[in-house]
């Protein structure tokens, strides 16, 4: 089991939005602008598996919301929506005992559907393709500069 403390977001975290769910799958017809904003806010905390667990207060600060109830409402809205018959956001709620021995809700755990958002990690094929394009560019540049060479008489 993972520890309950949400680590600080990495300074250089990149999220990757998959084009096809938006372009072909109609994702933005399913999500409201508030849903998309909330999903993006959650994504700032996700790990490589798409899991995160920021507190609602922290999420509210990121979203510019002063009311925890508004954050809860947005989470509930996302939790009800599906894309390709899979939840867009899965929420796991837990309780823990406080100092008085009373049960209280702990931070929620969230899992973002990886068909929609993931953490960007350069894939080896992407890097190979980029290197190949760079080599081709350098070859063309060399050929072009040779075609403009002037010979001294």
The overall average pLDDT reported for the chain is 83
Assigned domain for 80 exists: yes
| CATH for 43 | 1.10.10
Domain for residue 104, yes or no?
yes
Report the chain (153 residues): mean pLDDT per 10 consecutive residues: 47 76 90 96 90 93 94 96 94 85 82 85 60 83 78 57
Degrees (nearest 5) of the Cα angle 109, 113, 114?
115
pLDDT of residue 110: 96
Domain extent at residue 95: 15-120
Residues found in the chain: 153
Buried b or exposed e, range 53-64, using 16+ CB within 10 angstroms = bbebebbbebbe
Residue position matching structure tokens 């372009």: 23
Residue 74 within any structural domain of the chain: yes
In this predicted structure, what is the pLDDT of residue 59?
95
Q: What's the pTM?
A: 0.68
Number of domains composing the chain: 1
């Amino acid at each position: 089991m993972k520890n309950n403390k949400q680590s600080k977001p990495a300074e250089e975290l990149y999220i990757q939005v998959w084009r096809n769910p938006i372009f072909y799958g109609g994702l933005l017809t399913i999500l409201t602008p508030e849903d998309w904003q909330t999903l993006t806010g959650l994504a700032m905390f996700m790990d490589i598996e798409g899991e995160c667990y920021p507190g609602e207060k922290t999420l509210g600060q990121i979203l510019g919301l002063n009311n925890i109830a508004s954050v809860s409402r947005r989470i509930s809205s996302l939790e009800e929506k599906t894309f390709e018959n899979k939840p867009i956001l899965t929420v796991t709620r837990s309780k823990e005992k406080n100092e008085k021995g009373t049960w209280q809700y702990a931070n929620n755990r969230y899992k973002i559907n990886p068909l929609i958002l993931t953490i960007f990690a350069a894939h080896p094929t992407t890097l190979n393709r980029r290197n190949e394009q760079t080599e081709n560019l350098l070859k063309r540049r060399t050929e072009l500069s040779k075609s403009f060479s002037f010979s001294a008489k």
